């Protein structure tokens, strides 16, 4: 469980930045080179590479180098961590709101 939490924390930290979220969104359409990705952002290539390294170190993307071109590919399986966590949170809150609804609408629930 601790390892799951650490991986989830890393993924959420990586996704906390709008630039990195935009990169993930773009890679959702398919692999692309770092150069093509970087063109969309008003920053130097070394600054952009920090974002790429953060995404890669947290397992959200994989990069491969062929000659002088580094290509990024989205690791969709890693996003499943966030999806699983959100599904659990939805279930917890749904149960809480269901209990609240029963409390408010069922006179039996209001008895001490």
pLDDT of residue 91: 82
pLDDT of residue 89: 78
pLDDT tens digits in sequence order for the chain, 112 residues long: 555 677 888 999 999 999 999 999 999 999 999 999 999 999 999 999 999 999 999 999 999 999 999 999 999 999 888 888 888 878 878 877 767 777 788 767 555 6
pLDDT of residue 69: 93
In DSSP terms, which residues pair with 33 in a beta bridge? 71
Identify the pLDDT of residue 52: 97
Residue 90 confidence (pLDDT): 83
Q: Are 69 and 60 in contact (CB under 8 A)?
A: no
State residue 53's pLDDT score: 97
Residue 109 has a pLDDT of: 56
Spell out the domain ranges in the chain: 2-110
Give me the sheet containing 32-33, strands edge to edge: 32-33, 69-74, 61-66
Considering the domain delimited by 2-110, tell me its CATH architecture: Orthogonal Bundle (1.10)
Do the beta carbons of residue 52 and residue 81 sit within 8 Å?
no
Residue indicated by tokens 């000659």: 67
């Amino acid at each position: 469980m601790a390892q799951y939490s650490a991986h989830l924390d890393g993924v959420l930290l990586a996704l906390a930045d709008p630039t990195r979220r935009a990169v993930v969104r773009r890679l959702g359409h398919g692999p692309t080179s770092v150069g093509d990705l970087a063109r969309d952002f008003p920053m130097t290539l070394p600054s952009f590479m920090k974002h790429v390294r953060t995404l890669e170190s947290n397992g959200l993307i994989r990069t491969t180098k062929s000659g002088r071109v580094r290509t990024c590919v989205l690791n969709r399986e890693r996003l499943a961590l966030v999806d699983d966590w959100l599904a659990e949170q939805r279930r917890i809150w749904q149960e809480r709101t269901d209990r609240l609804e029963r409390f408010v609408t069922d006179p039996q629930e209001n008895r001490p």
